[in-house]
Structure 1
Amino acid sequence: MNTADLGLPVDVPSTALFTDQYELTMLRAALAAGTAERRSVFEVFTRRLPDGRRYGVVAGTGRVLDAVENFRFEPAVLAFLREREIVDERTLDWLAGYRFSGDIWGYPEGEVYFPGSPIMRVEGTFAECVLLETVILSILNHDSAIAAAASRMSAAAGDRPLIEMGARRTHELAAVAASRAAYVGGFATTSDLAAGFRYGIPTVGTSAHAFTLLHDSERDAFRAQVDTLGRGTTLLVDTYDVAEAVRTAVEVAGTGLGAVRIDSGDLLLVAHRVRRQLDELGATGTKIVVTSDLDEYAIASLAAAPVDAYGVGTQLVTGSGHPTSSMVYKLVARAGSDDPKAPLVPVAKKSSGGKASVGGRKWAARRLDAHGVAEAEVVGTGPVPGALVDRQLLVELVKGGEVVAREPLDAARERHMTARAGLPMSATQLSRGEPVLPTEYVHGASGSQ
């Protein structure tokens, strides 16, 4: 059966089926066992950063808040679950009235994180919290991976702007999320119009090689583009001969040509040649944009080149080799009964193989050294040490089922720049290394806060 058979629109507003079936299986069994309403605390964290990375970047928080609000089991969705016999009628009745009524705390979007950081904490009954595992993880794992790659690229680019242009290299919906995450991580613009429409990200775009090949000559193509878009446009100069194209571009647009784009070849060498040629032609203000499978290492290698902006696609939307953040969603505390006032009991996975977890409802703070530079990520249970009270990282996102922390995307972007600047200088080195901050655990009495 497909969505059309259920009468669902192509763009289903509900996020309820962004769910692994085992979550509904656990819900059904917990309802039958009488444990579904036990107060519970789940936390999102990662046990390790991608190999060689120095820090992670929290992204997707705003999308998580939207997903939680839209997590509704509509009639067509319930009909699907009934037809497949995924759950019984008792569970269907419970799902029909589902509305998350708990609390969510988390690192604010754009903040950096480290192994063990409680990136998000979801509190409520077991039943209402367990259903959110997959949708929360799918958003945070994807968006944080893209934002981390974007952050490394923006650090390598310095003051030169970055253009996100990966929509043709990934799923059409993932492309929109990737544009958003890239903006949080430091990119300035996107070529994806859906991202611009949905999130207000500045958009850019001029032409591809196909436009040049369409015309009888490169001069005709440049003339058509300049006549339509003005002298401030960006002309693609590597379809045929770069030197000839640059000469023609300046002849057509004049010395006020906005920019030229180079999309192939030895970018370092070609950029130097193009800059020299532009200057000799009097187009000293014409900028040079480079594209062509760039990643943070290629961007860093062009630091000494006369490049004004970078366009990045494939490597960005695939997380520059690390397309997921390996975050998990684990139960860390639960009440001993259905009584809402029952104290929380820490619980943890004890299995071997590097998958053990730390029990207890956690707080997190970032300790600074005498120079105001971060020196440790401190994660603890129980009372927060006085010296760290003002350095706590988690903020309230949802209170009693209501979103309380929506913010403009620019706020997350600015927060990331501030957070990254507060790390030790080695954080932005591209050489492989351990997390730039150690994670220290402080264990106290983890009562029912």
Structure 2
Amino acid sequence: MDTAHLGLPVDVPSTALFTDQYEFTMLQAALKAGTAERRSVFEVFTRRLPDGRRYGVVAGTGRVLDAVENFRFDEGVLGFLRERRIVDEETLGWLAGYRFSGDIWGYPEGEVYFPGSPIMRVEGTFAECVLLETVILSILNHDSAIAAAASRMSSAAGERPIIEMGARRTHELAAVAASRAAYVGGFTSTSDLAAGFRYGIPTVGTSAHAFTLLHDRERDAFQAQVDSMGRGTTLLVDTYDVTEAVRTAVEVAGPELGAVRIDSGDLLLVAHRVRQQLDELGATGTKIIVTSDLDEYAIASLAAAPVDAYGVGTQLVTGSGHPTCSMVYKLVARAGSADPKAPLVPVAKKSSGGKTSIGGRKWAARRRDEYGVAEAEVVGTGPVPAELAERQLLVELIKGGDVLARESLDVVRDRHTAARANLPLSATQLSRGEPVIPTEYVNGRSGSQTGA
């Protein structure tokens, strides 16, 4: 994969306003109270997986690193905050010199996660960490939701390629992020050129029904496309009559025709008929690509069909029914003073209604059985048990404000494939179910364990 543009667009704007106003009002109040410089630890986690899902997928980490690096307050941003009187002049002065100088740890991108998994830990002063809450959550919640849907779809597709085609079904910037997340989750290419340019993802595309309708005859449209793109192109055959279109396509391109695309109808039935017709016409090497509002269930239903590739749009970019992961960003520990050497004190929200959290700076490890298959997500505070020391999941992403862990998407994609393969086989079942492994919490002081 070409990684010439991997990471950032050519001209990166500040990400400082991709946030909620209360981050700034908390900052101003903390500066006045003298608590803004207290050393703090925030963690990103989700209390539960989307209903029925068996695992989650960490995606967007690379975009988070870019966002943190570009969280800067230039004159335009400061002018906006001043004009709206969102914060006072003292706070504006502090923001003018903002650079995140703390540390960020996290699950490597592409790894799987479960309820309670501390997939990202942000450490620094309260002031510098609290400002990052919204931008981190907006990236991780969106990208991880898309990657989880993509993972389910690519698992259902098996070895067959699967193309991301959802740019027209979401916001133009979300479309680029969705393409990236889909690639992490196992998709092989995208129709979105901005995603190809920015992240080096392979791009594909040939023609829509409009191209056929433009011409006086379907044959003329096919001939024009073959003349332009060669016999290996993909011809769309469901504008009028599929059987007639397939016959015409082979007459125009010959048995060297690369593929036909079917975008409507009973895909299982039509695919079988088209395969039989192609073989009878001598186009035994011509592939069949199916599109038309596919999701993981539709893909699974086509497993026995003579289909060579899938194209997925709407259901992918909307998370196949779960467009967010409900991740939260919570303060779990803080110092009792601004002294950098002051010890950290665990803190946690204890309100009712299922929104409690567990205090303390956490580690996470995945316990495996004798066959190397994951059997539990272990999350704890304090010392890491010796038997789990080599199974820890968090890696250092940013140290002292400097990014340490940029990776190519191919590395991330391969990591996800390996992580999914190490889960129990039931992880790939599409039926509704509980998380495929439990989460166990270890209290560092007592060594006690509790279930998720």
Q: When the two structures are superposed, what TM-score results if normalisation uses the length of structure 2?
A: 0.96
Q: Aligned pairs, how many?
A: 436
- Counterpart mapping for 1:129-208 below 5 A: 129-208=129-208
Partner of 1:7 in structure 2?
none
Render the CA deviation track for 1:125-165: whole Å, top value 9, x for unaligned: 00000000000000000000000000000000000000000
Q: Does 1:71 align with 2:76?
A: no
Matched letter for residue 444 of structure 2: G
Matched letter for residue 291 of structure 1: T
- Counterpart mapping for 1:339-418 below 5 A: 339-418=339-418
3-state SS of 2:345 partner: strand
CA distance in 1, matches of 2:317, 2:230: 31
Matched letter for residue 235 of structure 2: L
Matched letter for residue 369 of structure 2: D
- Counterpart mapping for 1:36-75 below 5 A: 36-75=36-75
Matched letter for residue 220 of structure 1: D
CA distance in 1, matches of 2:174, 2:235: 29
Once the two structures are TM-superposed, the CA of residue 12 in structure 1 deviates from its matched residue by: 6.4
Matched letter for residue 107 of structure 2: Y
Partner of 1:221 in structure 2?
221
Q: Does 1:287 align with 2:299?
A: no
Partner of 1:257 in structure 2?
257
Q: Does 1:335 align with 2:335?
A: yes
3-state SS of 2:43 partner: strand
CA distance in 2, matches of 1:440, 1:137: 24
Once the two structures are TM-superposed, the CA of residue 445 in structure 1 deviates from its matched residue by: 4.2
CA distance in 2, matches of 1:150, 1:305: 20
Partner of 1:427 in structure 2?
427
3-state SS of 2:36 partner: coil
3-state SS of 1:414 partner: helix
Once the two structures are TM-superposed, the CA of residue 26 in structure 1 deviates from its matched residue by: 0.3
Which runs of 5 or more residues in structure 2 are unaligned? 1-10, 447-452
Partner of 1:18 in structure 2?
18
3-state SS of 1:212 partner: helix
Render the CA deviation track for 1:37-73: whole Å, top value 9, x for unaligned: 0000000000000000000000000000000000001
Matched letter for residue 214 of structure 2: L
Once the two structures are TM-superposed, the CA of residue 375 in structure 1 deviates from its matched residue by: 0.1
CA distance in 2, matches of 1:39, 1:126: 6
Once the two structures are TM-superposed, the CA of residue 301 in structure 1 deviates from its matched residue by: 0.3
Render the CA deviation track for 1:362-419: whole Å, top value 9, x for unaligned: 0000000011100000000000000000000000000000000011111110000000
Partner of 2:307 in structure 1?
307
Partner of 1:3 in structure 2?
none
CA distance in 1, matches of 2:84, 2:204: 46
3-state SS of 2:196 partner: helix
Identical counterparts, % of pairs = 89
CA distance in 1, matches of 2:383, 2:93: 40
Render the CA deviation track for 1:202-260: whole Å, top value 9, x for unaligned: 00000000000000100000000001000000000000000000000000000010000
Render the CA deviation track for 1:4-51: whole Å, top value 9, x for unaligned: xxxxxxx76100000100000000000000000000000000000000
3-state SS of 2:275 partner: helix
Say if 1:200 and 1:12 are closer, same or farther in 2 by CA, change over 3 A.
Answer: closer
CA distance in 1, matches of 2:400, 2:69: 12
CA distance in 1, matches of 2:236, 2:329: 46
CA distance in 2, matches of 1:217, 1:77: 55
CA distance in 2, matches of 1:445, 1:361: 13
3-state SS of 2:419 partner: helix
CA distance in 2, matches of 1:380, 1:426: 26
3-state SS of 1:279 partner: helix
Matched letter for residue 151 of structure 2: S
Partner of 1:104 in structure 2?
104
Is the contact made by 2:38 and 2:126 (CA closer than 8 Å) also made in structure 1? Answer: yes
Matched letter for residue 292 of structure 2: S
Is the contact made by 2:12 and 2:70 (CA closer than 8 Å) also made in structure 1? Answer: no
3-state SS of 2:151 partner: helix
Once the two structures are TM-superposed, the CA of residue 443 in structure 1 deviates from its matched residue by: 0.8
CA distance in 2, matches of 1:223, 1:189: 26
CA distance in 1, matches of 2:80, 2:304: 58
Partner of 1:4 in structure 2?
none
Q: When the two structures are superposed, what TM-score results if normalisation uses the length of structure 1?
A: 0.97
CA distance in 2, matches of 1:35, 1:211: 63
CA distance in 2, matches of 1:94, 1:405: 28
Partner of 1:230 in structure 2?
230
Partner of 2:93 in structure 1?
93
CA distance in 1, matches of 2:12, 2:389: 42
